[in-house]
């Protein structure tokens, strides 16, 4: 059985995993705090849109070329 202090790569892996978890938890807390302080922003402002409707009857040339 090897001595735990001689297995430096195991300690390096454990330290890396711990630091990644710590960074993830810190980022989540910061994101949570920033979202609570910021007022809600409307993502899509409502603008009136113009709508044009073109009626095509069955006798028009456009209809006969399509069909």
Q: What is the mean pLDDT of residues 40-61?
A: 69
> What confidence score (pLDDT) does residue 14 get?
95
> What confidence score (pLDDT) does residue 44 get?
67
> What confidence score (pLDDT) does residue 22 get?
97
Residue 59 DSSP symbol = T
Q: What is the mean pLDDT of residues 10-36?
A: 92
pTM: 0.45
Distance between CA atoms of residues 54 and 39, nearest Å: 43
What are the distances in angstroms from CA 56 to CA 35, 50, 52, 64, 66?
Answer: 51, 20, 13, 10, 11
pLDDT band at 18 (very low <50, low <70, confident <90, very high): very high
pLDDT score of 60 more than 60: no
CA 46 centroid distance within chain: 23
């Amino acid at each position: 059985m090897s001595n735990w202090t001689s297995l430096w790569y195991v300690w390096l892996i454990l330290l890396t995993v711990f630091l990644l978890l710590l960074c993830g938890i810190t980022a989540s807390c910061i994101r949570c705090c920033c979202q609570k302080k910021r007022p809600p922003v409307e993502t899509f402002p409502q603008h009136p849109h113009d709508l044009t409707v073109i009626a095509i009857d069955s006798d028009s040339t456009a209809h006969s070329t399509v069909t």
